[in-house]
């Protein structure tokens, strides 16, 4: 099997934050989705990313981020095992980020 990365992207929400109850329900959906991948022995690992960070651009231009003008935020990633890109892509269906208007980018890890 090969390894693939799923990158979770979403538009920034500004200061609007869901209630703790909504966040808890959403976390449960993530747990169920990831448990389904793990049950098939396909989950390798993953990380949720902080909202803090810096970007280094050509010419040594440094920006802190993310800012409101950012069109999308990379919220996290997981690595999965799959036979092919199509196989890995099938796992993306049901990802809770889709419920919030976000999307999943699936890419092969180069060996």
DSSP string over 99-110: GGT-EEEEEEPP
65 versus 59: which is more confidently predicted? 59
Q: Which residue has the higher pLDDT, 111 or 51?
A: 111
**Plot region of 94 (φ>0 → left; ψ -120 to 50 → alpha; else → beta):** left
Buried b (16+ CB within 10 A) or exposed e, 55-87: eeeeeeeeeeebeeeeeebebbbbbbbbeeeeb
Q: What is the mean pLDDT of residues 2-9?
A: 94
* Per-domain boundaries in the chain: 2-108
67 — pLDDT class (breaks 50, 70, 90) = low
Architecture of domain 2-108 in this structure: 2-Layer Sandwich (3.30)
- Tell me the C-alpha distance between 95 and 104, whole Å: 8
H helices of the chain, in order, are 20-39, 85-92
């Amino acid at each position: 099997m090969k390894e693939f990365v799923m990158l979770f992207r979403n538009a920034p929400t500004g200061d609007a934050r869901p209630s703790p109850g909504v966040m808890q329900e959403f976390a449960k959906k993530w747990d169920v989705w990831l448990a389904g991948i793990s049950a098939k022995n396909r989950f390798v690992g993953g990380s949720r990313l902080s909202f803090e960070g810096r970007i280094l651009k050509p010419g040594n231009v440094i920006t802190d981020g993310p800012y409101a003008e950012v069109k999308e935020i990379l919220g996290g990633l997981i690595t999965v095992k799959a036979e092919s890109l199509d196989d890995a892509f099938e796992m993306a269906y049901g990802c809770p980020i889709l419920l919030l208007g976000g999307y999943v980018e699936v890419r092969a890890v180069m060996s």
